[in-house]
A and B are shown apart, each in its own frame.
Chain A
Amino acid sequence: MGRAARFWRSREGALVLPALAFYVLVYLYPLSRIVGWSFFDPDFTLKFYRELLAEPAYFKALRNTLEISVLVTLISLMLGYPLAYLMTTTSARARRVLTVLILVPFWTSILVRTFAWLVILGNNGLVNRALLDLGLVEFPQKLLFNMVGVQVGMVHVLLPFMVFPLYGVMSRIDLNVVRVARSLGAVPRKAFLYVFLPLSLPGVGAGCILVFLLAIGFYVTPALLGGPGQITLATMIDMMINTFLNFGFAATLGVLLLAVVGGIFGLFSGLMGLNRILGAGEGR
């Protein structure tokens, strides 16, 4: 490659500059302001962090957040793995249908879907009426403003983020390897457990990390479908700003949330890498 080619290549690199300037001003700068707000009132202070450690309500919000996120991740994996496996092993035609059926809800507004669950899971909603009509229960079950509602709503939103990375990895597995295992005498269960499953583990890792990270910062669904027991860091930040006008403390909770996400991310990025995690999910 001659000098001229290298010159043009560097010109192309300059194309990142408008986005870089925009990101620094409108994304990085405000994020750094959050850190600033958490340490000043108006002079340097650690009182917000002391309050954070002293008040059990905040620790509880952190615990709620992690509890909800772990459960959402596990349920999404349990539902998403079979779905991705089916997409990998079925005909191209069936795969197209499945993809469309996943993409339509995926691109439907989260608010719309959360609202739909409010209607479906309410005391007079579809699920409770079906249960009552079938005689399975005597009274309407409480499916909203508790963990059930939050899990249903969040798994619905985050399941595709599990399926896409899983499918991304599974679709690159050479199914002939499984066939070879079968022809060498492995029963289907063993061929799956010892051949396919281990090869699909990178997808499991990427999907779980992505879903978990998104769940930790999730706001709309816990706020609308959760109850007092599902107050998360995200919903608490909103309360601090829009109800209590406690900006310094909202900022401190923001820093805590960033630290949790960043910590988990740092823990796994060595293993997986951001581009790997997001790259696998780019079918969205």
Chain B
Amino acid sequence: MTGARVALWALCTLVMMFLIAPIIVIVITSFNGTPYMDFPPKSLSLRWYANFFSSAHWYDTALLSLRVALLTMVAATVLGTSAAIGIVRGTFPGRRALEAFFISPMVVPIVVVALGFYFLFSRYHLLDTTLGLFLGHTVIATPLVIVMVRAALRTTNPAMELAARSLGADFWRSLRYVTLPSIKATIVAAAAFAFLISFDDVVIAIFVAGPDTTTLPKRMWETIRFEIDPTLTAIASLLTLVAVIVLVGVELMRRGSSERVE
């Protein structure tokens, strides 16, 4: 290995440590026996995890987040998959512009989107409701589904669908038996990520959730601003675990299917 190559590896190792360090530190800290968030912990315990699961203050918010995330996952996957198929296989004019419009919530500042929800929802009495959170989260989760499904569709062969149709399958049958099965793994992966986007959202919750609809990230946000509660380290570790489970699931599925899931 040349000197330049060694330097490159050294630099990249440091960058990777920077990326992964906060997660490792927070997970280790979460097993502290003392309330001081020592690192490394002077004694080990599961008390902060027990605290999370035993207090309604925290646990109820997690159940609400879970409910909203599941609803969002279904809606974003259905809307996003359908839109992606329409864009890739359709032939109407203005498809490129529509595609950009569909993806735009990924770059429009989420604070501005949340502000718009605030105005809309205050008018229709949707502030501090589960429905409001669900609608808002669906807007920010759908673009990713569209991007992923669109990419998968472009690797499939449309001739298969035409073949199915020329053999007598109608539109819905060819969709059900040819198009969707060929991108199944991507759809499931996109659904998992849509779930995660909703489950982790804090910005929209800050603007549209209220005392009756405090999600887990919103409760964490409120807590972080006023005190440093070690229970947060346990929750942070659990949220990381959720993300890892989603990623591992997607990876296993990717290996199990012939299609390329991005």
Q: Kindly list chain B residues whose C-beta atoms are within 8 Å of the C-beta of A83.
A: 12, 15-16
B113 near A27 with CB under 8 A, answer yes
A115 near B203 with CB under 8 A, answer no
B110 near A217 with CB under 8 A, answer yes
Q: Kindly list chain A residues whose C-beta atoms are within 8 Å of the C-beta of B107.
A: 210, 213-214, 261, 265, 274, 277-278
A27/B147 contact (C-beta < 8 A), A109-B239, A116-B25, A119-B233 known: no
Contacting residue for A258 out of B8, B108, B165, CB 8 A:
B108
Least distance between A170 CB and chain B CB atoms (Å): 13
Interface members, chain B 39-71 (any A CB < 8 Å): 39
Q: B11, B103, B111: which has the most chain A beta carbons within 10 Å?
A: B111
B22 near A18 with CB under 8 A, answer no
A282 near B26 with CB under 8 A, answer no
B92 near A219 with CB under 8 A, answer no
Interface mask (B213-226 → A, CB under 8 Å = 1, otherwise 0): 00001001100110
Majority secondary structure of chain A interface residues (helix, strand, loop or mixed): helix
Q: Kindly list chain A residues whose C-beta atoms are within 8 Å of the C-beta of B156.
A: none
A115/B232 contact (C-beta < 8 A), A5-B162, A79-B15, A224-B224 known: yes
A12 near B142 with CB under 8 A, answer no
Q: Footprint of A on B, CB under 8 Å?
A: 2, 4, 8-9, 11-12, 15-16, 18-23, 25-26, 29, 37, 39, 78-80, 82-83, 85-87, 89-92, 95-96, 98-113, 115-120, 135-136, 138-139, 142, 144, 146-148, 151, 162, 165, 171, 174, 193, 196, 200, 202-203, 206-207, 217, 220-221, 224-225, 228, 232-233, 236, 239-240, 243-244, 246-247, 251, 262
Q: 28 A-B residue contacts at CB 8 Å? A: A4-B165, A8-B171, A10-B90, A12-B171, A13-B90, A18-B78, A19-B146, A30-B113, A33-B119, A83-B12, A102-B16, A104-B243, A104-B247, A109-B217, A116-B23, A120-B22, A125-B39, A156-B18, A217-B108, A217-B109, A219-B203, A220-B202, A238-B111, A238-B206, A242-B207, A258-B112, A261-B107, A275-B99
